[in-house]
Every structure is written in structure tokens, then in C-alpha cells.
A and B are shown apart, each in its own frame.
Chain A
């Protein structure tokens, strides 16, 4: 079974803090993704990566950056957390394009 793990289930941070969300997959997948999910807005893509050290912006990259130094690990960085970044963050991975994405359990981030 594919397993995607995320470093924290719940996280509370203060405005202005730098926040790191970690994601690890164990299936040697090429592609990895970061989404945020908000009520009424659905899942929105922040960034994705199709290879080590490669990244592409999704629909809402502003205020975020990513890092992929190893194939199995994809990190999302909030450079200076703001209250409007309070959300559920979901990481996913897939073998390659045209294949299903497998999701982690999510990190519920609250910025106060």
C-alpha cells in the first residue's frame, strides 16, 4: 500500500512565524503535490514537483515556497505565516501524470 505521511496532524503558529510542513512518501513516486482545503473552496493546488529539485507553481502559490531535495520528501514553507493561511494542508504523490494521486492524512494549521 502507498503511504504518504505528514509531519504533524495539528499545528498552531503565530502570525509572522516561519512554518515548515513535511511530507514523505514511500512508493518512489515521481510527482508530489501540496494542496490546501477550505470550506466552500475545495482543494486548491499550491505547488507541485515532478522531480527532485524541480517545482512548479499551482493555482495559489503566493506566500508559500517548497523544497524537494530527496525524491521521497516534499516540504511546504510558509515564509511568514498569516491568519489567512489557517487551513487544512494536504500532501499527495503520484507515480507520474495520468495516474491517481495518493493523499496524506493532512495537517490542520491554525495561525493566530
Chain B
């Protein structure tokens, strides 16, 4: 069964304290791995797509990386405005087209 697991469930950081969020996936052939940011009461906002192991993408303080079993979202010197829930999703060849399997998210809190 296709599955996406994110850890930790919640993460508290001090401003400037770098860390990483983990996304482990089990899908029948990975089409794409997606990262989203979600603020309370709002829809998820797209961040990155990764397609193959070894691929990396960056945006401001965020960098996403991909291996054959995991993806990491690295946050460098976070600021309070980075506080949000970060969602990971995978699309596999075994499922229907465009059908993403979402993890339950990591709630990040960054304190000033």
C-alpha cells in the first residue's frame, strides 16, 4: 500500500536554529514528490516538486532533497514567519493519474 510518513509531528525551533523535516514514502514507482506549506485556516501553498533521487531545490531559507526512500526539507536560519505546517505528498505510477498520497504534516513553530 502506498504510504507517506512525516516526522516529527511537531517541531519547535528558536529563530536562527537550522533543522530538517523528514518525509518517508512507499509508492509503486515515484512520479513526483511534492512539498507544501499550509498556514492555519488556509489551503496548502505549493513549494517544490522533486522527480528523481539526488535532485535538490531551493527557495529562500528552504531546501528540499530526495533519495529513493525519503525526502528532507532543510530550513536554514528560520524566522518566525516560517511557522506553518509543512506537508509532503507523493504520486506513484501505481495509482490514478494525479492522485497524491499526503503525509499528515509537520507543524513547525519558530520562536523569536
- Centre residue among A33, A58, A99, A108 by max chain B CB count within 10 A: A99
- Centre residue among B34, B43, B105 by max chain A CB count within 10 A: B43
Interface string of A52-83 (1 = CB under 8 A from B): 00001010000000000000000000000000
Given contacts A41-B104, A100-B34, 13 further A-B contacts (CB under 8 A): A42-B102, A48-B96, A90-B44, A97-B91, A97-B98, A98-B31, A98-B51, A100-B32, A100-B46, A101-B34, A101-B100, A102-B46, A103-B45
* A94 proximity list for chain B (CB < 8 A): 98
A41→B102 CA distance, assembly (Å):
10
Interface of B is mostly: loop
- Count CB-based A-B contacts (< 8 Å): 63
Count of interface residues, chain B, beta-carbon cutoff 8 Å: 24
A104→B43 CA distance, assembly (Å):
6
